[in-house]
Amino acid sequence: MRVLGVDPGLTRCGIAVVDGGTGRTVRCVAVDVVRTPPDADLASRLLAVADAVEDWLERHQPDVVAVERVFSQYNVRTAMGTAQAGGVVALAAARRGLPVAFHTPSEVKAAVTGSGRADKAQVTTMVTRLLGLDSAPRPADAADALALGICHLWRAPMRARLAEAEARAAELTRRHRARLAEAGRRAAGKGTTP
């Protein structure tokens, strides 16, 4: 499976393609940081991010797009810009019919370091090690995009198993209810009408 991981942002947007191999092996296909000028207007910055993502989707043909989910940040203005950038990334994927998965920063950190509270340096160290890179990806946004890709590859099978278990449970519940309803109907048929 090939994942396009995006750490959305307007000033710096981390973007990476990671391939999953057998077991837990992962491979870095490409990584970069898209930058847009802070003094440009918001709409043209979003357009630059959207164009870059579409170019990567076209060039690398991923199977899925993983985006970092932003809940809140110290700076509300920055958080809104980040959310908007994430929105145009998800839109680009949806336009191509690709599934989009959102992972929280703590899920990403936990996936690559084992701790949801790991710092940026730990994430960068583990990403470098897991992907067998010669040097640490810089800036942190690039490492985050790679971590997101790895997180998705490792979480996806777990998610699929979970979804399968939920579907099975729902099917059992449905059958149980159907049997109950059938028993109720039979009982009513046998009973006396007042």
Are the C-beta atoms of 150 and 130 separated by less than 8 Å?
Answer: yes
100 scored as a contact of a copy of itself (CB under 8 A): yes
95 binds a copy of itself (CB under 8 A): yes
Cα–Cα distance measured from residue 178 to residue 120, given in angstroms and rounded to the nearest whole number = 52
Measured from the CB atom, the residue of 44 and 106 that comes closer to a copy of itself is 44
CA distance 10 to 58: 21
Distances (CA, A) of 111 to 2, 115, 146: 17, 8, 12
**Integer Cα distance of 11 and 19 in angstroms:** 27
Q: Which is nearer to a copy of itself, 91 or 133 (CB)?
A: 91
Q: Which of 39, 41, 58, 134 binds a copy of itself (CB under 8 A)?
A: 41
d(CA 166, CA 68) in angstroms, rounded, equals: 25
> Is 55 marked as a binding-site residue?
no
- Residue 3 interacts with a copy of itself (CB under 8 A)? no
Specify burial of residue 31 (Cβ count, 10 A radius: 0-12, 13-18, 19+).
Answer: buried
Of the candidate residues 70, 142, 143, 146, the single one contacting a copy of itself (CB under 8 A): 70
Does 90 contact a copy of itself by CB under 8 A?
yes
Catalytically annotated residues: 7, 68, 141
Instruction: Report whether 141 belongs to an annotated binding site.
Output: yes
Contacts for 161 with CB less than 8 Å, ≥ 6 apart: none
Considering only 24-32, 71-79, 118-126, 170-178, which stretch makes contact with a copy of itself by CB under 8 A? 71-79
* 88 binds a copy of itself, rule: CB under 8 A: yes
Distances (CA, A) of 16 to 30, 47, 182: 6, 19, 54
Choose between 25 and 75: whose C-beta lies nearer to a copy of itself: 75
Binding site: residue ranges?
A: 7, 68, 141
Annotated binding site for Mg(2+): 7, 68, 141
Name the residues that contact a copy of itself, by CB under 8 A.
Answer: 41-44, 46-47, 50, 70-72, 76-77, 79-80, 83-88, 90-91, 93-95, 99-100, 102
